[in-house]
Chains A and B, each alone.
Chain A
Amino acid sequence: MNIFVQLTVTGLTNGAILALAALGFVLIFKSTGVINFAQGEFLLIGAYAVYVGTVAAHWTVGILLGLLVAVVLGVGVERLILRPLVGQPIIAVIMVTIGLGIFLRSVVQIIFGNRPLPFPDFIPGGSVNLLGATVPANRLWGIGLAAVTLAVFTVFFTRSRHGIAMRAVADDQQAALTMGISVRRVFAMAWALAAVSAVIGGMLVANLIGVSGGIIEFGLLVFPVVILGGLDSVPGAMIGGAIVGLLITYTGGYVGGGLQSVVPYVVLVGILLVRPYGLFGQVRIERV
């Protein structure tokens, strides 16, 4: 029982962070149709930005700097790199995001080197007793923070004017234009929000494993998550994140032997056989 609670907390933390990273990916794919292979690097840059701000001043500065870097990075990438590619074949766009990822990763290495840096612990450490098991408090904070962020995003998409506009653009760009919605601005907003969710995710990973290139590997797990949940589904990203996070931890804890890196993909294939759009992917609506 103790082990189960501990593994569940660990799995949910990983899952919540994965959900944040996946949310950014889904946002970009849904509204702009671009598959962003640099999402892991977005996490990395976010983590370093928060680190620099925190070390230099205070964690509030760190978070603000992280968000600022996220918006600049997101809007900059959209404006400078992807806008000129509008109308180009999808493979070209994919190659560009892969290249962008390598570029960002290398820049970070040049500046900060290869050694992992300890993440300043402004998120309360120590341990808490939960259902008879001892679990690290920072993981509970991680789950809480991620849950709040995801809730805020959900409200944004269903209630706010800009959120609804983003979904409208995802459905039909030309029709959205006739509503006076600026498609360009929505694209920029999608990239900025994706980077913001990546910064929060990156910060939480860094809090667990330190600030290092390992964050990118964590970011790679975004792919099983979004394919499982559905490439264009926000709730899918959250639930897919939780499933993958828990699966990895349970397999690692109960079975072990490296099987945890295989199991998510096995389950992924199984689910895709039954639901080809992923668990919550948008089914093309056809009226009969």
Chain B
Amino acid sequence: MSPTAPRTGPGTSRAPYGSAEVDPRQATEPILALNNVEVIYDEVILVLRGLSMSVAEGRIVALLGSNGAGKSTTLKAISGLLPTEDGEVSDGSITYQGRDITHTDAATIVRDGISQVMEGRRVFEHLSVHENLLAGGYTRSHGEHADDLDRIYTYFPRLADRRSQTAGYLSGGEQQMLAIGRALMAHPRLMTLDEPSLGLAPLLVEEIFSIIGRLNDELGTTILLVEQNARLALDIADHAYVMESGRIVLDGPAAELAANPDVQEFYLGLTEEGARRSYRDVKHYKRRKRWL
């Protein structure tokens, strides 16, 4: 199929891209909803241009998109981190459990139950593994720490082995586990993860994704996952959103999205026939064809 040929697959027969209303198929009450959120950096750079999405309680929701689409910004807007980077939500609203948290400060948002695992792991390098976890439990009372630590060491036995080691010297995979464990210490109801697979070996990535799945299953933690590795993300997620240039351009149940020829082409590197394409062609093609 040539790059410019018109498409007639099931992907184009869906609702027009960009109309990202809340999907009626997500039956449960959304725990988090973003309504036409606009984010501006330094008062001039518009990064999110009216983004709307919702996350249903107890689900895993994936947010896909290429570099610079605004995925990390979306997570930072939710966590209240934008002021630290001269950014602000200039329009729209973010509601969590029915309450408006658009301009709530980061510390309060963590107390309310949203924890973010930031891109690049960001462990406290000079603190030990144990102290990193204690820092994660800052918002909880001292009495709860013992149980919480036990639980995290059961999920991540490797961290238990390294409990008194300086976190900066852990391997990348262990640091990612520590970052997730640290976020768990705050008892989040909603955990947002920014590129947990970044820079990790494939085996470790699978391990980490299986743990994310277990956290969702066993603890009932709602997960909002930003990933470049679309295949893995769609595997684990219930629902997925695709964003480009600061807007949602496509969304649906993860399985449906994985079958969508456009998604296959742009994010999974497959042609419509299902054969793998050279990654180089995909990139080249992407430069000419845009969703919007």
Residues of A within 8 A of B (CB): 158, 161, 164-165, 167-168, 170-182, 282, 285, 287
Contacts and interface: CB of A to CB of B under 8 A. Distances in A.
B166 A285 contact: yes
Given A180-B139, A181-B138, A175 B122 contact: yes
A164 B129 CA distance: 12
Query: Which of A158, A164, A165, A170 has its CB near the most chain B CB atoms (within 10 A)?
Result: A164
Interface in B134-153: 134-136, 138-139, 142
Given A165-B138, A174-B84, A285-B169, A181 B127 contact: no
Given A177-B84, A178-B117, 11 more contacts: A161-B138, A164-B131, A164-B134, A175-B122, A175-B123, A177-B106, A177-B107, A178-B110, A178-B183, A285-B169, A287-B172
A171 B132 CA distance: 11
16 contacts: A161-B142, A164-B127, A167-B126, A167-B131, A168-B131, A170-B126, A171-B127, A172-B122, A172-B125, A175-B122, A177-B107, A178-B79, A179-B136, A179-B182, A180-B186, A282-B126
A165 B140 CA distance: 13
B111 interface: yes
Nearest to B85: A174
A102 B26 CA distance: 65
A186 to B, nearest CB: 10
A177 B118 CA distance: 11
B117 to A, nearest CB: 8
Contacts of A171: 124-127
A180 B138 contact: yes
B253 interface: no
B226 to A, nearest CB: 14
A181 B134 CA distance: 12
For A158, A168, A173, A178, which residue has the most chain B Cβ atoms within 10 angstroms?
A178
Given A174-B81, A179-B138, A181-B107, A167 B118 contact: no
B124 A167 contact: yes
Contacts of B80: 177
B106 A178 contact: yes
A181 to B, nearest CB: 5
B110 A180 contact: yes
B81 A177 contact: yes
A260 B108 CA distance: 53
Contacts of A180: 106-111, 138-139, 186
B93 interface: no
Interface string B76-110: 00011100100000000000000000000111111
Count chain B CB atoms within 10 A of each CB in A167, A179, A282 and give the residue with the most. Answer: A179
A177 B111 CA distance: 11
A63 to B, nearest CB: 28
